[in-house]
């Protein structure tokens, strides 16, 4: 018997094929998440780089309404900074229009701070969407493959017992076929783990950017209300 993939695939049992199908679905799902997250993060980065200096310039000119409108425009709908700062700016505008900022500056700043924190929490949850799935696939795919391998080896030894033949030559083909699922499981898991670590680092970077921008915005409110 030749040890090529096609020949071994033809001799795989039902359980092994079921494991391969499950791993294939897991692989397709992880690839879809990788593509979607990469595209979303790229849009967030590009739009935030264009948004931040523009809004900073508007605030320096005292154009609060224009800054809010810019924060909610379609051009920055993927920007993590626009979502967070827009919430703070909108709350600050409400505090000014209602007269609360004039009555109690600290309370108004605290209200804007809470709005920013809520927006940051929601945005962080959105940025992490799909990453737990990548982590799960990276952690479990090798074990799913090992499940198929275990049954394959059992079948190989069962065949040896039925035929009455012994030695490595009698079971080598069966073991080689069984190990396909483990190899496939590793093939699915490794990219998922790499992608999870990469995207987790990007999310942490976004979190730092949101924290820094939020602090600068609150400093602006404090100076503005002084």
pLDDT tens per residue across span 133-164: 999 999 999 999 888 888 777 776 776 666 65
* The predicted structure's pLDDT at residue 94: 87
pLDDT (tens digit, 0 to 9) for every residue of the chain, 226 residues total?
Answer: 455 556 666 666 677 788 889 999 999 999 999 999 999 999 999 999 999 999 999 988 888 899 999 999 999 999 999 999 999 999 988 888 887 666 777 888 899 899 999 999 999 999 999 999 999 999 999 999 888 888 777 776 776 666 655 555 556 656 766 778 888 899 999 999 999 999 999 999 999 999 999 999 988 888 875 4
Q: How far apart are CA 112 and CA 115, in angstroms?
A: 5
* The predicted structure's pLDDT at residue 105: 79
Q: How far apart are CA 122 and CA 138, in angstroms?
A: 26
Instruction: Please report the DSSP string for the chain in residue order.
Output: ----HHHHHHT--HHHHHHHHHHHHHHHHHHHHHHHHHHHHHHHHHHHHHHHHHHHHHHHTT-HHHHHHHHTSGGGTT-HHHHHHHHHHHHHHHHHHTTHHHH-HHHHHHHHHHHHHHHHHHHHHHHTTTHHHHHHHHHHHHHHHHHHHHHHHHHHHHHHHHHT--SHHHHHHHHHHHHHHHHHHHHHHHHHHHHHHHHHHHHHHHHHHHHHHHHHHHHHHHHHH-
Close Cβ partners of 133 (under 8 Å, ≥ 6 residues apart): 29, 30, 33
* The predicted structure's pLDDT at residue 9: 60
Q: How far apart are CA 117 and CA 91, in angstroms?
A: 12
Token pair in block for residue 145: 């493959």
Count of the separate structural domains present in the chain: 1
* The predicted structure's pLDDT at residue 31: 96
* The predicted structure's pLDDT at residue 122: 94
* The predicted structure's pLDDT at residue 141: 94
* The predicted structure's pLDDT at residue 174: 63
* Domain with 196 in it: 5-225
Close Cβ partners of 159 (under 8 Å, ≥ 6 residues apart): 170, 171, 174
* The predicted structure's pLDDT at residue 172: 61
Which of 216, 187, 225 is CA-nearest to residue 5? Answer: 187
**b/e code 141-159 from CB counts within 10 Å (16+ = b):** bbebbbbbbebbbebbeee
pTM: 0.82
């Amino acid at each position: 018997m030749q040890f090529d993939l096609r020949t071994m695939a033809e001799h795989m049992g039902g359980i092994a094929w079921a494991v391969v199908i499950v791993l294939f679905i897991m692989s397709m799902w992880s690839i879809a998440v990788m593509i979607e997250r990469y595209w979303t993060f790229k849009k967030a980065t590009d739009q935030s780089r264009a948004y931040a200096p523009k809004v900073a310039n508007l605030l320096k000119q005292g154009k609060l309404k224009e800054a809010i409108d810019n924060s909610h425009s379609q051009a920055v709908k993927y920007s993590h900074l626009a979502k967070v700062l827009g919430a703070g700016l909108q709350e600050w505008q409400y505090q000014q229009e209602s007269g609360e900022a004039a009555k109690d500056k600290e309370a108004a700043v605290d209200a804007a701070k809470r709005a920013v924190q809520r927006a940051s929490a929601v945005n962080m949850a959105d940025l992490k969407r799909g990453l737990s799935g990548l982590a799960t696939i990276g952690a479990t795919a090798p074990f799913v493959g090992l499940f198929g391998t275990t049954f394959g080896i059992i079948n190989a030894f069962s065949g040896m017992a039925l035929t009455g033949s012994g030695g490595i030559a009698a079971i080598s083909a069966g073991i080689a076929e069984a190990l396909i699922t483990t190899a496939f499981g590793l093939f699915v898991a490794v990219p998922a783990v790499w992608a999870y670590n990469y995207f987790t680092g990007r999310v942490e970077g976004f979190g730092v950017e949101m924290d820094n921008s939020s602090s600068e915005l609150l400093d602006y409110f404090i100076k503005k209300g002084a």
